[in-house]
């Protein structure tokens, strides 16, 4: 844990330098309008990103890292087996990688490079405060969580990077990418219906319906979990049922719930100002809402 604290200090120092030595530029938005933005110094930002990749790629004992290293080492070369489950995309990814790099650490390093790079590139492109964004990325625990659940975070980073496609209304390409990524992790497919929610007016009728539905699910927790378990029982994720209620599903800290709720509360209070001042604010607000509604705060 000490290395994470040290990394936090060094990376935030570099990000602070990136902002301090940044420059202003004119940015043309997809709708043709132009706005003046300050971009951080790329040199310091890249060095900070590289350090995050190094620490993540060289890990050895965090979460399910051992499982992925074992799986990579014992990956079958039989294509029939590679395509035997619904998440064959990840098997193919490992197979191609193993042609060039046979050491299991390479799977962690290449995956960390893709995951962290795409997250940091998206932060650099869209954040108005690099320091705050990177601080939240690390201090909230999401940087460390990318080292556990390699497939999930690889898919999530690619989809995070694809927010540009949502902003630019490139729906077909976005759907194709989501479908391909669902072969790496099935849960990615939820991003197709979520697309239509994200494009709605924030805090409008659709938002209110989702909010009411989420409250009903919360108070009907026992029923909703039983229904979920009956669905999972016939899927690849049936093993999660037996771990429910153990330390792996011990619930979330009330502090985390409050922190995750803050963007949602602020987006409601300042919704009119955000629509006026921030391009694509509906998309950003709805992402915050969907993140909170998704149940991430109670896992």
Within a domain: residue 63? yes
Residue 129, by phi and psi: left (phi above 0), alpha (psi -120 to 50) or beta?
A: beta
Give yes or no: residues 130 and 262 share one domain: no
Q: Among 134, 160, 189, give the residue marking a domain's end.
A: 189
Among 56-65, 100-109, 228-237, the least confident range? 228-237
Contacts of 134 (CB under 8 A, 6+ apart): 11, 12, 15, 48, 120, 123
Within a domain: residue 217? yes
Cα 183–Cα 185–Cα 188 angle in degrees, nearest 5: 95
Within a domain: residue 195? no
Q: Report the mean per-residue pLDDT for the chain.
A: 84
Whole-Å CA distances, 55 to 5, 83, 103, 247: 12, 32, 17, 26
Please give the residue range of the domain that contains residue 156: 1-189
Give yes or no: residues 243 and 130 share one domain: no
Give yes or no: residues 127 and 146 share one domain: yes
Highest-scoring range by mean pLDDT, 33-42, 228-237, 252-261:
33-42
Within a domain: residue 134? yes
CB of 292 within 8 A of CB of 217? no
Query: In the prediction, which pLDDT does 60 show?
Result: 86
Within a domain: residue 291? yes
In the block, tokens 């954040």 appear at 127
Sign of CA dihedral 31, 34, 38, 42: positive
pLDDT at 122 over 70: yes
Q: Among 167, 189, 211, give the residue marking a domain's end.
A: 189
Give yes or no: residues 157 and 22 share one domain: yes
Give yes or no: residues 177 and 222 share one domain: no
Q: Among 122, 157, 189, give the residue marking a domain's end.
A: 189
Give yes or no: residues 21 and 146 share one domain: yes
Q: List, for residues 227-246, the tens digit of each pLDDT value.
A: 655 655 556 555 555 555 55
Highest-scoring range by mean pLDDT, 188-192, 221-225, 270-274:
188-192
Torsion (CA) 56, 57, 60, 63 in degrees, nearest 10: 50
User: What length is written for the chain?
Assistant: 299
Give yes or no: residues 275 and 131 share one domain: no
Give yes or no: residues 149 and 286 share one domain: no
What six digits make up the tokens of 7?
């990394």
Cα 188 from Cα 256, distance rounded (Å): 24
Choose among 118, 94, 121: nearest CA to 106.
Answer: 94
Counting the structural domains of the chain, the total is 2
Choose among 187, 190, 189: nearest CA to 179.
Answer: 189
Give yes or no: residues 177 and 239 share one domain: no
Give yes or no: residues 21 and 165 share one domain: yes
Give yes or no: residues 155 and 243 share one domain: no
pLDDT more than 70, % of the chain: 80
* DSSP state letters, the chain: -HHHHHHHHHHHHHHHHHHHT-EEEEEE-TTS-EEEEEEPPHHHHHHHHHHHHHHHHT--SSTTHHHHHHHHHT----HHHHTSSTTHHHHHHHHHHHHH--STHHHHHHHHHHHHHHHHHHHHHH-S-HHHHHHHHHHTSHHHHTTSSHHHHHHHHHHHHTHHHHHTT-HHHHHHHHHHHTTT-GGGGGHHHHHHHHTSPTTSHHHHHHHHHHHHHHHTHHHHHHHHHHHHTTSGGGHHHHHTTSGGG----HHHHHHHHHHHHHHHHTHHHHHHHSTTHHHHHHHHHHHHHTTGGG-
Going by pLDDT thresholds of 50, 70 and 90, the confidence category of residue 81 is: confident
Within a domain: residue 233? yes
Give yes or no: residues 212 and 248 share one domain: yes
Within a domain: residue 276? yes
Q: In this structure, how many other beta carbons lie within 10 angstroms of the beta carbon of residue 213?
A: 11
């Amino acid at each position: 844990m000490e290395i994470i604290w040290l990394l936090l200090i060094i990376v935030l120092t570099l990000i602070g330098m990136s902002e301090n030595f940044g420059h202003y530029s004119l940015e043309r938005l997809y709708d043709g309008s132009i706005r003046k933005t300050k971009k951080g110094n790329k040199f310091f930002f890249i060095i900070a990103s590289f350090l995050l990749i190094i620490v993540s790629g060289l890990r050895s004992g965090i979460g399910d890292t051992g499982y992925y290293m074992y799986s990579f080492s014992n990956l079958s070369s039989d294509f029939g087996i590679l395509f035997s489950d619904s998440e064959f995309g990840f098997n193919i990814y490992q197979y191609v990688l193993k042609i060039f790099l046979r050491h299991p650490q390479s799977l962690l390093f290449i995956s960390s490079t893709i995951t962290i790079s795409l997250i940091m590139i998206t932060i650099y492109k869209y954040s108005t405060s690099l320091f705050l964004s990177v601080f939240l990325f690390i201090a909230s625990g999401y940087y460390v969580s990318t080292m556990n659940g390699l497939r999930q975070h690889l898919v999530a980073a690619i989809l995070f990077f694809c927010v540009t496609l949502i902003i630019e209304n490139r729906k077909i390409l976005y759907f194709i990418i989501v479908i391909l990524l669902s072969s790496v992790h099935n849960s990615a497919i939820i991003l197709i219906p979520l697309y239509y929610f994200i494009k709605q007016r924030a805090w409008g009728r659709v938002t209110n319906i989702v909010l009411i539905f989420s409250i009903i699910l919360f108070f009907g927790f026992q029923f909703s979990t039983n229904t979920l378990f009956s669905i999972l029982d016939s899927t690849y994720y049936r093993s999660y049922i037996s771990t429910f209620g153990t330390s792996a599903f011990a619930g979330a800290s009330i502090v985390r719930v409050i922190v995750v709720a803050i963007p949602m509360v602020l987006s409601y209070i300042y919704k009119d100002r955000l629509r006026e001042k921030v391009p694509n604010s509906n998309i950003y607000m709805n992402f915050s809402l969907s993140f909170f509604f998704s149940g991430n705060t109670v896992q």
